[in-house]
Structure 1
């Protein structure tokens, strides 16, 4: 399949949340739990959303905003807007076209795309529509470490040959979080959906009596700083780390040649009780200075959320679950429409806040009484 299906949009779509009901009606209950659930008590999952709501804006008025725009620089490119689609696995669980539809939508709306290592469509097919449109945003590939350097080396060569522009290594989920919703409903992948870009067979655990499957089996295979060094030596592509939340880890990564970071708590799916990403972002920006690429995900639903993220120091934002809701509701057209809605809302928020460009969105745009920056002002 080279082109996605064209489907009608549900009626009454005014914002990203409006896709959710249509999506749930079309998605298997187990797959819905996999997509929307979080870890443990889902405190971090909820915090991601409520943190953006709690931040208030302090607009300026009577400014000349003619000629304003949403363009931002990122990794040597000028993007039409700061919206990228986050890496989400197994998208054919939610629509038959899966990641192919997502890529066509991203290209049509000039958005960036980070393809999950666990994509259910071949990476070359996903890359094609992004590469065919010169206005499309950046195309990056997200990695999970696998303890097989021959396999990883071959995967890197394939990623480079498919013209992906950067690598994103997820570092905050060496094992799954305790996802109660998935366990209650008994989620498992259907036989016809798999991570098609990850061939080969994982090595079986070799455990001795009394050893822990996690600490003696899985964790010795997880990435460490040695693997960061190896990735930097094996590929010339920029490397971003997704899931760094501590400034000391970020500084260590920079010293080892990492290019930038995605501030993320894995959508609340890994370790519960982490702070919301809106709270994690400002101290990382303060620690790293203004020149290091810093993106953020988690709970982004409105154009005002995007504007707040930029004011807190982000270079761009990642949209997650809402675009998969749109995919489930109406395929490529749904994802494209969701992106357009969010971009329109961002422009409205900028105009009403007195921001001609996103460079105008700084700490002064945020009401100091409830900003995550309040303690550092």
Structure 2
């Protein structure tokens, strides 16, 4: 089991997570027997059943049992805020943006209003030698940026359906606090570690100045977002106000997230081996504060394992299956209500949004 904790620690480092914080996972004394399938363990199912009983005690009634309320495996499905949601549908039809989805799924998902990065553009660059690490660096960064984009879009496309003075509002604000920390940490790591080491590698002092300026360009919108999600009382939650703030953020943020991929491709003029060493070294030196009970479930829930980047369905970071089970059955349970808003399950399978905005996105 120790090797899987170490694996999780290594996968966290490229995302801006410190060795000190990630060491919590390595030194953990948890003793787990990981399941061999995604079926719900009996003890966890009993816990879920007890929550359903509690919902009845709170005068939340369930519909009469009928054939239409039963799933294929015979378990009764419930309507209402405390119900266990039905299993995800299978995804089979290719999407223009690279994801695989069911056309019958609710129209809103986590691929709008910010479009996902499905092409790095390296195939159109005749100046890039085949197999150069600049391609890998650009693809890795595109995957990390897509995690941010899915989290942002999931929030944007659910914020209007969340009602004030509810547990949903409290959970949703918490979810967005994690989203803020993810964006802020990612760009802090770039400015403090990634970009300076790239200047040292290339000898070009202003090589990343354009990207740093783009960070500054959306600082105002990001601060408005931080103020709202950390200082808003769930009783006074206003989804329209949150969406207005996100409208300010996303055009500049998206331009930056897409543009940075081309900047990494431009590094093809430098030695591929040294560039690979730069990526590995900066990943190890990445600094950031991690709460594994908050940050890991958010990241895993925004990774789409079916997504094709440059035509290749290669999720990044490549997280071992035992780590995903660790997150699902241990890490996620402390704040289980928050992860309802994730656009994917723990194993990277896209799923319908839990609270799609009424009438679709504003755009």
TM over 0.5: no
The answer to which structure has the higher strand fraction is 1
TM-score normalised according to structure 1 size: 0.31
Give the TM-score taking structure 2 as reference length.
0.32
Structure number with larger C-alpha Rg:
2
Q: Which has the higher helix share?
A: 2
